[in-house]
Structure 1
Amino acid sequence: MPALNRLLRAGAAARPLAAAARGWLSSLVSSEADARVPASLARQGLPARRDPGSRSVQWVFLGCPGVGKGTYASRLSQLVGVPHIATGDLVREELASSSPLAQQLADIVNQGKLVSDEIIINLLSKRLESGAAKGESGFILDGFPRTIRQAEILEGVTDIDLVVNLKLREDVLLAKCLGRRICSQCGGNFNVASIDIKGENGRPGIFMAPLLPPAQCMTKLVTRSDDTEEVVKERLRIYYEMSQPVEEFYRSRGKLLEFDLPGGIPESWPKLLQVLNLEDHDDKQSAAA
């Protein structure tokens, strides 16, 4: 278990993750060898041909707040049959609890600041312990790692197959974030923003239709407390500042796949599947119906 030994040497902040990793690693290292994407293919942005649902994957999704990491990571997790672990969701679940950590997190989130490595690692540790108890193998991580330190800790735990970096222009990101809504009754996530930007000066246009709720949710929509223009701009500034080293960390290892979203889900999903060398049979059946 040399990986765990490296993790234990990473410092006190890494220790909570190590305990969860012990049981979790045992299931990962017993996976089929061909479940991992060869580095030579990842460098070209072409993961090995994969039959959805037949193998474990260990992927990371990077991207600015509001870019759609959760949407695409969740869809892919269902397609390939591994859990989607979103650190943003872990933070929100903790915020909704009555734990001593909840108020501290509320202050951090409402100011648009990044949650510390120690807190994120603690929350992720708890999630991994829960998954290990259920026999989970493989994952798609969303929102982690956000710093070089987190990336190094994660590398000490397991080998990441592929890192997908979703990219979207800043004016569209801002509009998307300000359009996000949550149903206060069912907890569903929706977006009321209608984005239609014409191409100019060599830049392509982009269209994103709103993701509206069903009629029963329409009057129950609420805006997240951290989705104000001031907070969103601060989150984007911090993200850009912190993301460059993390992107370079994975780029230098031949694992970074950069994907520019061409539009909303109908335009982007099939293109993302194409670069990942995957097929969504359900989508094909829906299109043929």
Structure 2
Amino acid sequence: MAAMNRLLRASFSSYLRRMSTVAPEAGVRFPPGMAAPKMGPGQRRDPRERGVQWVFLGCPGVGKGTYASRLSHLLGVPHIATGDLVREELSSSGPLAQQLSAIVNQGHLVSDEIIIDLLSKRLQNGVAKGETGFILDGFPRTIRQAEILEGVTDIELVINLKLREDVLLEKCLGRRICSQCGGNFNVASIDIKGENGRPGIYMAPLLPPPNCASKLITRSDDTEEVVKERLRIYNEMSQPVEEFYRSRGKLLEFELPGGIPESWPKLLQALNLEDHDDKQSAAA
């Protein structure tokens, strides 16, 4: 474990050295009341002078990958999802594939050691390609991981996506993947009426194009039993991590009001990024 920690620190240190020389990223601002993080000796203090260092938290199926990916394109930094790293390893013939298969199929969380090893390799590859900044998705999941991350870099913002558990279950059971192109879709049509003071929520299905419709498959871990177990484990472990960042003034709680059309503009508003999105859309 000590060797893996050193490798992770080396990877992040390479990121920080690169980010101290990149040009200003106009339009990247912090939510109201959230100050720029303190930088170490010799590092620039203005977060716009380097790629952002953000983390997405949230239950399995909440949409971390969707929103992190959109922000990644908007801000020009890589979206690094530990879930994708695990699935890439599962599809390989590497030595970890069989071990990971058993863990994932039972709905258990992958160990810190494995996640840190996969993340370290990904970061090193990114440094070699000249990437700056990052949006992490799925890491950290434990206090131990958060402490390791805190020890090697200063995460500026942690976006905690929240969604009702009954909606999460429907979303997870509706997920589909195209076996040919790898595209992600969702066949669930969620329309829950508001009652007892709770707002209603609507999420339209994300249907595949005709050429993918006959090639959809369900992830092996997207069964009701496994999804419920994953949600139980996540909720049990997430509270300390959320409090870790909340106590440092870095946690932004965001309750998803619905699907992407309803949630994306409101998320940008919470991040003070509406103008940045408008400028990018106009340039495109």
1:112-191 equivalent positions in 2, closer than 5 A: 112-191=107-186
2:62 aligned partner: 67
Q: Distance in 1 between matches of 2:201 and 2:216?
A: 26
Query: Is 1:42 equivalent to 2:39 in the alignment?
Result: no
| Structure 1 residue runs without a partner (length 5+) | 1-9, 44-48
Residue pair 1:39, 1:254 contacting (<8 A) in 2 also: no
Alignment RMSD, CA only? 2.6
Residue pair 2:20, 2:50 contacting (<8 A) in 1 also: no
Query: Is 1:20 equivalent to 2:11 in the alignment?
Result: yes
Q: Distance in 1 between matches of 2:266 and 2:30?
A: 21
Structure 2 vs 1, CA of residues 246 and 180 (structure 1 numbering), >3 Å: closer, same or farther? same
1:111 aligned partner: 106
Query: Is 1:11 equivalent to 2:2 in the alignment?
Result: yes
Query: Is 1:250 equivalent to 2:241 in the alignment?
Result: no
Query: Cα deviation per residue 1:86-138 (whole Å; 9 max; x = unaligned)?
Result: 00000000001000100000000000000000000000000000011111111
Query: Cα deviation per residue 1:9-64 (whole Å; 9 max; x = unaligned)?
Result: x9344133133234223113445799986698327xxxxx998xx85111000000
1:98 aligned partner: 93
How many residue pairs get aligned? The number is 271
Tell me by how many angstroms 1:179 deviates: 0.2
SS at match of 2:60: coil
Tell me by how many angstroms 1:238 deviates: 0.3
Which of 82, 85, 91 is equivalent to 1:87? Answer: 82
| Structure 2 residue runs without a partner (length 5+) | 36-45
Query: Is 1:238 equivalent to 2:233 in the alignment?
Result: yes
Residue pair 1:151, 1:246 contacting (<8 A) in 2 also: yes
> With structure 1 as the length reference, what TM-score do the two structures score?
0.87
Which of 208, 211, 224 is equivalent to 1:213? Answer: 208
Q: % of aligned pairs identical?
A: 77
SS at match of 2:214: helix
Query: Is 1:266 equivalent to 2:261 in the alignment?
Result: yes
Query: Cα deviation per residue 1:146-192 (whole Å; 9 max; x = unaligned)?
Result: 00000000011111110000000000000000000000000000000
Residue pair 1:180, 1:223 contacting (<8 A) in 2 also: yes
Which amino acid in the other structure matches residue 41 of structure 1?
Answer: G
> With structure 2 as the length reference, what TM-score do the two structures score?
0.89
Residue pair 2:89, 2:97 contacting (<8 A) in 1 also: yes
Q: Distance in 2 between matches of 1:271 and 1:220?
A: 34
Query: Cα deviation per residue 1:201-233 (whole Å; 9 max; x = unaligned)?
Result: 000000000000000000000000000000000
